């Protein structure tokens, strides 16, 4: 093989390799990085680095081969010609254009197209026309090979043909590039079918997947409590001094007349309090979500939620003022009324409302802990009422969270369900690149599938909280391609942890009521909960598994000095049920 034919073969092979090798690395390596849990972010970065190194190395090789071929042609046409250097781009382009114009004008347009193909490909990328960009790159490859063969044919007709071995290598590179794209595209199609099958499974199980499905569950029978809350023109503002006194903290050195002022405030707000009592008799409410808009239709309810929060404050003041004078009957009524406010919001079809409901119940439990420790519950009838309400609350919280998770999935589907929306937003107008790199399509469909699968796992963990750890473990082993959905499901997992902690607190409160009765009968706390009669094994079980934590050796809590206005950690003698975030009883 002559030097001219060898240089032509290297240039053609180098140009084909420059396009095919990084393409193959990005297609197969990118798919591996997104789909293999062992790859992670480091694997994705490694694939990108390898593709970039391969591109730069092959670009240098192709440029060197192209310059070498040009110098051989120069030597064959004009012995006195100046040789081209590695960076002599413009002189080589100009001389090549002039050479083709004089010696082989039939290829002049092919050369011109070769010169503008890469700039046009770059412009197409900027304008998000990725298919056009790929077409321009292929045109650059074909016209480059044609023009080089034409130049060689002019100076040495016998060396005009590239050897079959080189042709086969070029064809093999292009076939491998197409095959790499095809393999990943097949995997993307499989992921799409899996996603569709998961959606069909939800529909078969009568899970809500559309606005119409949600609307059937969102119907209201009877009066709408939210309408009364929205129509309440002026909810009484809570004085700062009373708000500080009613804060959900342990308070020391309370002035003797502090609760007198609270009782006066409640008495002076007789009309709003009666109105609040009437409102609490309404079993349900609808905040007015526009289900057809998905999550966009949920965002207009913030003002109503804030109004419900103001009503909670009113009921809290009524509860504390009643407890301060030993009015157990009113304590029971206020406790039940506060729970009814929470129950009104328990039918809203989104996870955020489940979080609102859990927050209301958590504040109600904090108030109960304060009432029991600061004032005590003296009536057995009210004790039984509180225990029955807490037992019902545990079931209601589970049903509410299940509904919230179902509604969250349905609203996601109505809104387009794209867990990769943050990646799409980050890539902006370059989203069309997924057509050329189907690994992104694979990740999008798999993320949808993982989102539906994860929400189903969390929903199953509502009735069996012990399964939450398995769901969290499954979440931790998802591959790097699941990163967008992992961030979404991690937030749901955090809310599930809050739910389990709240269940633990509810059970701890029920145990605390029994302990309070036992303390009054025996004069102290038992060493173990097994010594307390009337407690079922289910009640003494921690929702996350194992027995409910219990200690009669005292506890430490942050207490606020009402007179000084400062807080500090303080040790109290008493019992702690359910751990640090459970329920505490002082001796």
Q: What is the pLDDT of residues 234-246, one digit of tens each?
A: 889 999 888 888 8
Q: Do the domain assignments include residue 281? A: yes
Query: What contacts 178, CB < 8 A, 6 or more positions away?
Result: none
Give the residue from 145, 166, 196 where a domain finishes. 196
Residues 308 and 332 in one domain: yes
| Per-residue pLDDT reduced to its tens digit, 324-361 | 999 989 999 999 999 999 999 998 888 999 999 999 99
Q: In the structure, what pLDDT confidence band is assigned to residue 427 with cuts at 50, 70 and 90?
A: very low
Residue 550's pLDDT is what? 92
Residues 125 and 265 in one domain: no
Residue 319's pLDDT is what? 94
Q: State the sign of the Cα–Cα–Cα–Cα dihedral 524, 525, 528, 532.
A: positive
Q: Which residue has the higher pLDDT, 366 or 219?
A: 366
Residues 249 and 398 in one domain: yes
Residues 170 and 72 in one domain: yes
Query: Over 90: is that where the pLDDT of 517 sits?
Result: no
Q: Which residue has the higher pLDDT, 435 or 514?
A: 514
- Written in H, E and C, the secondary structure of 369-435 is HHHHHHCCCCCHHHHHHHHHHHHHHHHHHHHHHHHHHHHHHHHHHHCCCCCCHHHHHHHHHHCCHHH
DSSP 187: H
Q: In the structure, what pLDDT confidence band is assigned to residue 424 with cuts at 50, 70 and 90?
A: low
Give the residue from 345, 380, 415 where a domain finishes. 415
Residues 36 and 84 in one domain: yes
Work out how many domains the chain is built from and give that number.
2
Residues 95 and 221 in one domain: no
Report which listed range, 25-34, 153-162, 340-349, is most confident: 25-34
Q: Do the domain assignments include residue 451? A: no
Residue 108's pLDDT is what? 83
Residues 277 and 321 in one domain: yes
Contact indicator for 503, 468 with CB cutoff of 8 Å = no
Q: In the structure, what pLDDT confidence band is assigned to residue 167 with cuts at 50, 70 and 90?
A: confident
Question: Mean per-residue pLDDT for 111-128?
Answer: 87
Residue 178: which domain range? 1-196
Neighbours of 222 (CB within 10 A): 8
Cα 251 to its chain centre, rounded Å, is 38
Residue with tokens 């790499």: 180
Q: Do the domain assignments include residue 13? A: yes
Query: Over 90: is that where the pLDDT of 492 sits?
Result: yes
Range with lowest mean pLDDT among 123-137, 202-216, 257-271, 419-433: 419-433
Residues 61 and 31 in one domain: yes
Q: Do the domain assignments include residue 524? A: no
Residues 181 and 256 in one domain: no
Q: Do the domain assignments include residue 68? A: yes
Q: What percent of the chain has pLDDT over 90?
A: 49
| Average pLDDT over all residues of the chain | 88
Q: Do the domain assignments include residue 432? A: no
| 534 CB burial (10 A radius; 0-12, 13-18, 19+) | exposed
Q: Do the domain assignments include residue 238? A: yes
Nearest Cα to Cα of residue 471 among 459, 458, 488, 489: 458
Residues 266 and 153 in one domain: no
Rounded Cα gap, residues 429 and 436, in angstroms: 14
Give the residue from 385, 415, 445 where a domain finishes. 415
By DSSP bridging, strand 555-561 and strand 583-586 are: unpaired
Phi, psi of 290 (to 5 degrees): -90, 95
Rounded Cα gap, residues 425 and 423, in angstroms: 5
Contact indicator for 12, 165 with CB cutoff of 8 Å = no
Residues 187 and 229 in one domain: no
Rounded Cα gap, residues 348 and 352, in angstroms: 9
CA-based end-to-end distance of the chain? 101
Query: What contacts 191, CB < 8 A, 6 or more positions away?
Result: 441, 442, 445, 446, 449
Residue 79's pLDDT is what? 53
Rounded Cα gap, residues 5 and 161, in angstroms: 8
Residues 221 and 361 in one domain: yes
Rounded Cα gap, residues 22 and 55, in angstroms: 6
Q: Do the domain assignments include residue 332? A: yes
Query: What contacts 325, CB < 8 A, 6 or more positions away?
Result: 259, 263
Query: Over 60: is that where the pLDDT of 142 sits?
Result: yes
Rounded Cα gap, residues 584 and 130, in angstroms: 64
Neighbours of 349 (CB within 10 A): 24
Query: Over 80: is that where the pLDDT of 91 sits?
Result: no
| Per-residue pLDDT reduced to its tens digit, 370-392 | 999 888 888 888 889 999 999 99
């Amino acid at each position: 093989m002559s030097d001219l034919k060898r240089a032509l073969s290297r240039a053609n092979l180098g140009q084909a390799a420059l396009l095919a090798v990084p393409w193959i690395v990005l297609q197969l390596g990118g798919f591996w990085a997104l789909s293999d849990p062992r790859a992670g972010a480091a694997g994705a970065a490694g694939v990108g680095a390898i593709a970039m190194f391969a591109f730069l190395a092959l670009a240098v090789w192709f440029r060197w081969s192209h310059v070498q071929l040009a110098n051989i042609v120069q030597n064959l046409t004009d012995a006195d010609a100046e040789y081209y250097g590695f960076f002599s781009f413009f002189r080589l382009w100009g001389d090549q254009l002039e050479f083709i114009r004089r010696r082989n004008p039939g290829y002049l347009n092919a050369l011109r197209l070769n010169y503008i193909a890469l700039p046009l490909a770059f412009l197409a990328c900027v304008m998000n026309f990725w298919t056009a960009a790929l077409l321009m790159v292929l045109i650059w490859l074909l016209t480059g090979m044609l023009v080089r063969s034409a130049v060689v044919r002019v100076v040495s007709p016998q060396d005009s043909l590239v050897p079959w071995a080189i042709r086969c290598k070029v064809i093999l590179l292009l076939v491998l590039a197409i095959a790499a794209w095809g393999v990943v595209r097949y995997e993307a199609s499989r992921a799409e079918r899996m996603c569709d099958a998961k959606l069909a499974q939800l529909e078969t199980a009568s899970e809500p997947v559309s606005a119409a499905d949600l609307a059937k569950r969102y119907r209201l029978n009877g009066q709408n409590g939210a309408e009364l809350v929205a129509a309440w023109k002026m909810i009484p503002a809570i004085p700062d001094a009373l708000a500080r006194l009613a804060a959900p903290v342990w308070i020391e050195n309370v002035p003797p007349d502090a609760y007198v002022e609270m009782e006066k405030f409640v008495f002076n707000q007789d009309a709003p309090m009666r109105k609040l009592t009437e409102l609490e008799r309404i079993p349900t409410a609808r905040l007015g979500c526009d289900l057809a808009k998905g999550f966009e239709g949920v965002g207009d309810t913030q003002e109503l939620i804030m109004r419900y929060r103001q009503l909670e404050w009113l009921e809290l003041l009524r509860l504390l003022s009643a407890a301060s004078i030993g009015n157990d009957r009113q304590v029971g009524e206020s406790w039940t009324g506060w729970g009814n406010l929470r129950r009104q919001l328990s039918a809203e079809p989104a996870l955020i409302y489940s979080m609102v409901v859990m927050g209301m119940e958590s504040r109600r439990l904090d108030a109960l802990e304060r009432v029991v420790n600061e004032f005590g519950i003296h009536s057995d009838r009210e004790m039984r009422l509180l225990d029955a309400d807490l037992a019902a609350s545990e079931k209601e919280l589970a049903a509410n969270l299940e509904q919230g998770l179902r509604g969250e999935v349905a609203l996601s589907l109505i809104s387009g369900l794209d867990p990769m929306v943050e990646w799409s937003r980050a890539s902006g107008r370059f989203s069309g690149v997924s057509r050329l790199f189907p690994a992104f399509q694979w990740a999008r469909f798999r993320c949808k599938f993982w989102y539906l699968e994860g929400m189903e796992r969390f929903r199953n963990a509502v009735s069996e909280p012990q399964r939450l750890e398995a769901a969290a473990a499954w979440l931790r082993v998802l591959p790097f391609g699941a990163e967008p959905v992992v961030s979404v499901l991690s937030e749901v997992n955090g809310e599930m942890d809050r739910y389990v902690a709240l269940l633990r607190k509810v059970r701890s409160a029920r145990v605390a009521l029994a302990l309070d009765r036992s303390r009054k009968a025996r004069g102290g706390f038992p060493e173990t909960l097994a010594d307390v009669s009337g407690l079922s094994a289910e009640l003494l079980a921690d929702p996350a598994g194992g027995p409910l934590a219990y200690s009669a050796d005292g506890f430490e809590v942050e207490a606020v000095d009402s007179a000084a206005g400062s807080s500090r950690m303080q040790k109290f003698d008493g019992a702690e049920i359910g751990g640090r975030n459970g329920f505490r009883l002082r001796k």
